[in-house]
Amino acid sequence: MYLTEAEYSKMGFEPVEDFEKLNNRASVMIDLYTKSLYSFIDFDDDHEMRKKAVKQAVALQISYMSETGITTAEDKQNLTSISIGRTSVSYGAGQKSATSRPSFGLCLDALALLDSVGFGYCGVDYDR
């Protein structure tokens, strides 16, 4: 796991029930998105910028899962409407958004954060 409950609280997030369960789920989602990079290299030896982004992405995902109840990619795919507080979003029946790559159930904030440090890049490095 990439994040402790103390680090989560220090980032300013509200305490959640079942922190360990959500942390495990979020860490698996991050591992899927990063193609299990940290099973090949030591997380503690990685660049500070990427470690910070991963920790923040895990925290955002934990918060997202706690607030929405969406804890799997399948839950998110089958979602037709969602209400958070006074905000409600409804999707057309059977309408699915087209994405060029799988998100593995990650929230958009976590995806953007991971993409900002180079995860999710699928291009080819070409230099003449």
Residue 66 covered by a domain: yes
> Is there a domain that residue 83 lies in?
no
Helix H or strand E encompassing 63? helix 48-68
> What does the pLDDT read at residue 61?
95
Q: What is the pLDDT of residue 98?
A: 47
| Domain assignment present for 92 | no
Instruction: Determine, yes or no, domain membership for 128.
Output: no
Q: What pTM, to 2 d.p., does this model score? A: 0.78
Domain count of the fold of the chain: 1
Indicate whether 93 belongs to any domain: no
Count of C-beta atoms within a 10 Å radius of residue 107: 22
Q: pLDDT, tens digit, for every residue of 107-126?
A: 999 999 999 999 977 767 67
Q: Two tokens at 97?
A: 């958004």
Is 32 contained in some domain? yes
**Separation CA 53–CA 74 (nearest Å):** 25
Answer whether 30's CB lies under 8 Å from 57's CB. yes
Amino acid at 56: Q
Query: What pLDDT score does 85 carry?
Result: 76
Give the Cα separation of 108 and 4 in Å (integer).
22
Task: Kindly list the averaged pLDDT for each block of 10 residues, start to end, along the chain of length 128.
Answer: 96 95 96 93 96 97 91 70 72 52 84 92 72
Residue 97 forms beta bridges with which residues?
none
Q: Look at residue 80 in the predicted model and tell me its pLDDT.
A: 61
Report yes or no on 17 lying in a domain: yes
- Residues recorded for the chain: 128
Q: What pLDDT shows up at residue 82?
A: 66
Which residue range is the domain that position 60 belongs to? 5-72+102-116
Report if residue 89 sits inside a domain: no
Q: Which two tokens stand for residue 82?
A: 């969602």
Predicted pLDDT at 100: 52
